[in-house]
């Protein structure tokens, strides 16, 4: 890249970047699969192949029927529920944190659809 091209890239940025001297650490959030075992409008119980840190906050993407939502949740508890050879299964309780009206509505509608289906059987 030429000096002119580098200058053009810098002009397009909304804010100036500075070089970090030494070390500065961060983390990246990556969606990992989980199994939803129980669900309410206030939270969920999930199973994973990895532990969650207590009181940590995470964004959870849930596919509820044909709708998908993202809801912030706090890990209320986490424990090992099964150990099979080299696989460990963790069960965690997630408390939803201030879900939007839309997210609350999608969860409530999904739960009601499940209840209605069970009543019809």
pLDDT in tens, 29-48: 788 999 999 999 999 999 99
Tens digit of pLDDT for each residue in 105-115?
A: 999 999 999 99
User: In a 10 Å sphere around its CB, with 0-12 CB exposed, 13-18 middle and 19+ buried, how is residue 107 labelled?
Assistant: buried
Residue with token string 């529920």 = 81
Using a cut of 0.85, tell me whether the model's pTM lies above it.
no
Sequence-distant (≥ 6) Cβ neighbours of residue 2 within 8 angstroms? none
Position 86 confidence tier, pLDDT thresholds 50, 70, 90: confident
Rg (CA), the chain: 21
What domains lie within the chain, and their CATH numbers? 32-120 (2.40.10.220)
Position 13 confidence tier, pLDDT thresholds 50, 70, 90: low
């Amino acid at each position: 890249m030429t000096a002119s091209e580098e200058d053009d890239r810098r002009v397009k940025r909304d804010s100036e970047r500075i070089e970090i001297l030494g070390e500065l650490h961060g983390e990246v959030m990556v969606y990992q699969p989980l199994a939803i075992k129980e669900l309410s409008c206030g939270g969920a119980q999930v199973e994973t192949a990895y532990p969650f840190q207590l009181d940590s906050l995470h964004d959870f993407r849930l596919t509820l029927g044909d709708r998908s939502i993202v809801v912030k949740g706090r890990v209320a508890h986490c424990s090992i529920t099964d150990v099979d050879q080299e696989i460990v299964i963790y069960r965690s309780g997630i408390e939803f944190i201030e879900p939007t009206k839309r997210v609350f509505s999608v969860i409530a509608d999904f739960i009601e659809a499940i209840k209605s289906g069970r009543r019809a059987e």
